[in-house]
């Protein structure tokens, strides 16, 4: 596998060289990753990609080829190149677990360590988390629209790269998909690989009927036929039924299903269902594909289409409707040699680009009666939310909007991944992460899960963090004059 250490923005290296030359290499810095808005105007996003980040950080080392390349640029000092030769990752990392619903502004990942290291990993942190969180979030929307019917990820050939296909399938599975067309994702992550035939199979044989029979003989106990190569109702279904009667019945086998990949999927599925039922195959499933997304699937179900499963390709694997997850990685504090921590804030005319300063903790408050999530609260790291008594939350942008939360329990959302560069958490299987994701999404109110105009989930600041932020903003505003 290619060494990914230099998959980084070049300025990470120029800054690192500069930190070393200026005697700042061992300065301890804290960086937060957060995102600013949920894709597709949705009510929530899903954290994903953490396991690949773990793999990257565990393998982070500069090879001789890396050093030779950097030396050829003729801008890096010999001392810096020696530093890279002896590089060892020594940071602490905290992160929201994969499969957890996340919201704008939250510190979903924090890195603490020597500033060279904590700064250097920015590109891969964002690349890995942004991509998989985007696809996982989209998949979760699509799967929720299917109302329990299986959704299969069919997007490998439309993904932006081989890595996007493989890891996109992983993210889609965590988001709720039942399987994938990507064989390598099955081998690597245990995601069920599914598939039957293409139109080319049908076209290869002298007739559609002969193509169906050949497939049924080859896979009598897993026979799903693609019925739209020529005409779904005039030839596809009749030939499929004849094949079932003449090939499968004598073998004591039942058909697994039929797939429709074009046309009016709602109307066709109703007619196909009627014809299959009349022929004695009410157990034969109907799968549809062809430019599906959450809105098309929702309308098909509302129209009463008797569809059993959906194959979703390009609009899922590329998140076609909104193909960017806007996660960012910002300095939030510097730790001095005496142990004191200096909070840092980025000022901007754009309010959305102002970060929350300091070393923080992220909490989720759950209603004890319903188990539903009430709000998230970002506090300073030394604060504890006492859930034995009422707790006041407030809107950090409209501070007059306040609410007392009662009969609740508070849970820290983030776990520690690395301590001084050593992995300290237990890695989960993809199947365990998928189950956890389903469980966590179920803690969200239906109003947050709406596709249109979802309820804005509360993400509030503790009073202590709010005061710190606005004091820094006032100080920064004065210094700009």
Query: 378 and 306 in one domain?
Result: no
Query: 282 and 267 in one domain?
Result: yes
Query: 449 and 340 in one domain?
Result: yes
User: Which of 299, 317, 335 marks a domain boundary?
Assistant: 317
413 in any annotated domain: yes
18 in any annotated domain: yes
The CATH number given to whatever domain includes residue 288 is: 3.20.20.70
Report the distance separating Cα 392 and Cα 320, nearest Å.
40
Query: 275 and 207 in one domain?
Result: yes
pLDDT value for 353:
81
- 428 burial via Cβ count (<10 Å: 0-12, 13-18, 19+): middle
Report the distance separating Cα 329 and Cα 8, nearest Å.
13
- Full strand arrangement of the beta sheet holding 408-412: 408-412, 360-367, 373-380, 459-461
Query: 441 and 417 in one domain?
Result: yes
User: Which of 302, 317, 332 marks a domain boundary?
Assistant: 317
- For residue 476, give both structure tokens: 């920064």
| Bridge partners, 226 (sequence order) | 259
pLDDT in tens, the chain (481 residues): 578 999 999 999 999 999 999 999 999 999 999 999 999 999 999 999 999 999 999 999 999 999 999 999 999 999 999 999 999 999 999 999 999 999 999 999 999 999 999 999 999 999 999 999 999 999 999 999 999 999 999 999 999 999 999 999 999 999 999 999 999 999 999 999 999 999 999 999 999 999 999 999 999 999 999 999 999 999 999 999 999 999 999 999 999 999 999 999 999 999 999 999 999 999 999 999 999 999 999 999 999 999 999 999 999 999 999 999 999 999 999 999 999 999 999 887 777 788 999 999 999 999 999 999 999 999 999 999 999 999 999 999 899 999 999 999 999 999 999 999 999 999 999 999 999 999 999 999 999 999 999 999 999 999 999 999 999 998 876 655 4
Query: 286 and 157 in one domain?
Result: yes
pTM: 0.96
Query: 189 and 219 in one domain?
Result: yes
Query: 155 and 65 in one domain?
Result: no
Domain span at residue 461? Answer: 10-135+323-479
- 384 burial via Cβ count (<10 Å: 0-12, 13-18, 19+): exposed
Query: 142 and 129 in one domain?
Result: no
Query: 269 and 251 in one domain?
Result: yes
User: Which of 317, 336, 363 marks a domain boundary?
Assistant: 317
Tens-digit pLDDT profile for residues 259-284: 999 999 999 999 999 999 999 999 99
pLDDT value for 478:
64
Query: 41 and 122 in one domain?
Result: yes
The CATH number given to whatever domain includes residue 357 is: 3.20.140.10
Report the distance separating Cα 5 and Cα 121, nearest Å.
9
342 in any annotated domain: yes
Query: How many domains is the chain partitioned into structurally?
Result: 2
Report the distance separating Cα 150 and Cα 96, nearest Å.
27
Query: 157 and 299 in one domain?
Result: yes
| Bridge partners, 286 (sequence order) | 258
């Amino acid at each position: 596998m290619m060494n990914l250490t230099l998959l980084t923005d070049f300025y990470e290296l120029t800054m690192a060289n500069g930190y070393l030359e200026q005697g700042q290499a061992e300065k301890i810095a804290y960086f937060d990753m957060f995102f600013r808005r949920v894709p597709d105007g949705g009510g929530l996003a899903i954290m994903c990609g953490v396991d690949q980040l773990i793999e990257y950080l565990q393998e982070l080392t500069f090879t001789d080829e890396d050093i030779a390349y950097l030396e050829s640029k003729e801008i890096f000092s010999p001392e810096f190149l020696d530093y890279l030769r002896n590089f060892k990752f020594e940071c602490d990392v905290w992160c929201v677990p994969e499969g957890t619903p996340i919201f704008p502004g939250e510190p979903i990942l924090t890195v603490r360590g020597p500033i060279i290291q904590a700064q250097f990993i920015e590109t891969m942190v964002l690349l890995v988390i942004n991509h998989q969180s985007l696809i996982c979030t989209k998949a979760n929307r699509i799967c929720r629209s299917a109302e329990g019917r299986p959704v299969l990820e069919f997007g490998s050939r439309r993904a932006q790269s081989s890595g996007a296909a493989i890891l996109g399938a992983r993210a889609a599975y965590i988001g709720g998909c039942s399987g994938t067309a990507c064989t390598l994702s099955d081998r690597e992550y245990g995601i069920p690989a599914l598939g039957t035939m293409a139109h080319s199979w049908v076209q290869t044989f002298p007739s559609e009927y002969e193509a169906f029979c050949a497939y049924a003989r080859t896979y009598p106990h897993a026979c799903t036929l693609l019925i739209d190569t020529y005409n779904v109702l005039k030839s596809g279904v009749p030939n499929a039924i004849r094949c079932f009667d003449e090939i499968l019945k004598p073998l004591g086998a039942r058909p697994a299903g039929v797939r429709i990949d074009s046309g009016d999927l709602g109307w066709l599925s109703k007619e196909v269902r009627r014809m299959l039922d009349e022929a004695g195959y009410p157990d034969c499933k109907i799968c549809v594909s062809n430019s599906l997304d959450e809105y098309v699937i929702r309308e098909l179900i509302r129209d009463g289409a008797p569809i059993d499963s959906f194959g979703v390709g390009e609009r899922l694997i590329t998140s076609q409707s909104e193909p960017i997850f806007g996660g960012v990685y910002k300095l939030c504090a510097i730790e001095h040699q005496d142990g004191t921590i200096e909070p840092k804030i980025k000022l901007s005319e754009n309010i959305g680009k102002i970060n929350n300063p300091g070393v923080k903790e992220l909490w989720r408050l759950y209603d004890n009666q319903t188990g539903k999530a009430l709000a998230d609260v970002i506090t300073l790291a030394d604060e504890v939310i006492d859930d034995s008594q009422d707790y006041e939350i407030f809107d950090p942008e409209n501070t007059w909007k306040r609410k007392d939360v009662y009969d609740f329990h508070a849970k820290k959302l983030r776990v520690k991944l690395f301590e001084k560069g050593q992995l300290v958490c237990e890695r989960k299987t993809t199947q365990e992460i998928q189950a956890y994701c389903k469980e966590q999404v179920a803690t969200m109110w239906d109003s947050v899960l709406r596709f249109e105009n979802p309820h804005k989930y509360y993400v509030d600041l503790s009073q202590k963090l709010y005061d710190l932020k606005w004091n820094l903003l006032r100080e920064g505003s004065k210094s700009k004059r």
